């Protein structure tokens, strides 16, 4: 789809969602669900404060996602191409994956305090396994015949990794990043509402406690906008790094 058409599609989707929001707010007629106009007014009124909270939330999500990718991708590629490593990692991953990592937030707060460290640790733990499993499965699906064919042309292990394994897994890694981004923002909101006095989650909950629903929805819109921008950036990375997927 051409770039202009994608922009039109995004704008059309946003207008459609705002229209549904307006109809629902008019139908319910409850101050807890203000019309989009009031939320946008709150966005303009509180923007200096929102920008400060946005900085903290964006920092926590981006750093946590970057650390998870930095550790999970190499480990997943290694496990996907090495059965011994996979047989060692797989039981631990499958045993720990169902454990609700958010339940460990109080433990993280005791160990690391109520600052960024505890929040980022929980986000990291939630998305690490998602990226690891997806990367391992992508590496495992690469046919051995393909690797043998390239190796027969004189490619060494480094060349195989750089020219075959990583490009073959990259689309799945970026897809895992997009899925993990949604999980990361959800965990971010929860962690910011439980402890601390910074971040969009804190701002949204503060608006709820003050019964300032315009401010509350301004925070929700800001968090949604943050997620949308990060999602578009990941899509742009895929467009630039995976031209064969266009």
Q: Which domains are seen in the chain, by residue range?
A: 50-245 (1.10.3720.10)
What integer pLDDT is reported at residue 100 of this predicted model?
Answer: 82
- CB 226 within 8 Å of CB 200: yes
Give the span between the Cα atoms of 194 and 217, in whole angstroms.
19
Give this prediction's pTM.
Answer: 0.87
Residue among 103, 66, 95, 71 at smallest CA distance from 187: 103
Query: What is the per-residue pLDDT across 30-56, written as a single tens digit (0 to 9) for each?
Result: 888 888 988 899 899 999 999 999 999
**205 HSE (CA, 13 A, CB side):** 15
The average pLDDT across 87-95 equals 86
Average pLDDT of the segment spanning 68-75? 94
Scanning the structure block, which residue is given the tokens 């929040």?
119
- Reported as a single tens digit per residue, the pLDDT across 173-195 is 999 999 999 999 999 998 898 87
Predicted local distance difference test score (pLDDT) of residue 160:
80
Q: What percent of the chain has pLDDT over 90?
A: 46
For the chain, what is the total number of helices (H) and then of strands (E)? 11, 0
Of 49-63, 78-92, 97-111, 182-196, the least confident? 97-111
What value does the mean pLDDT take over residues 44-73?
Answer: 94
- 16 — pLDDT class (breaks 50, 70, 90): very high
């Amino acid at each position: 789809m051409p770039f202009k058409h994608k922009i039109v599609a995004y704008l059309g989707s946003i207008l459609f969602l705002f229209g549904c929001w307006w109809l629902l707010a008019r139908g319910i007629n409850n101050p807890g669900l203000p019309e989009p106009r009031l939320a946008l007014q709150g966005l303009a009124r509180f923007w200096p404060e929102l920008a400060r909270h946005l900085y903290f939330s964006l920092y926590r999500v981006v750093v946590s996602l970057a650390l998870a990718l930095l550790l999970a991708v190499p480990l997943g590629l290694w496990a996907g191409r090495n059965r011994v490593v996979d047989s060692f990692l797989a039981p631990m991953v499958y045993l720990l994956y169902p454990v609700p990592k958010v339940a460990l937030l109080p433990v993280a707060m005791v160990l690391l305090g109520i600052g960024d460290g505890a929040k980022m640790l929980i986000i990291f733990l939630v998305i690490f396994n998602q990226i690891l499993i997806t990367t391992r499965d992508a590496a495992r699906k690469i046919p051995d015949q393909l690797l043998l064919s390239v190796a027969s042309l004189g490619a060494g292990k480094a060349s195989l990794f750089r020219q075959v394994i990583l490009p073959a897994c990259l689309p799945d890694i970026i897809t895992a990043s997009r899925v993990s981004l949604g999980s990361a923002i959800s965990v971010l909101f929860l962690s910011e509402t439980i402890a601390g006095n910074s971040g969009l989650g804190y701002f949204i909950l503060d608006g709820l406690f003050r019964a300032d629903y315009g401010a509350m929805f301004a925070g929700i819109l800001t968090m949604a906008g943050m997620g949308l921008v990060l999602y578009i950036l990941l899509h742009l990375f895929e467009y630039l790094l995976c031209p064969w997927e266009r």
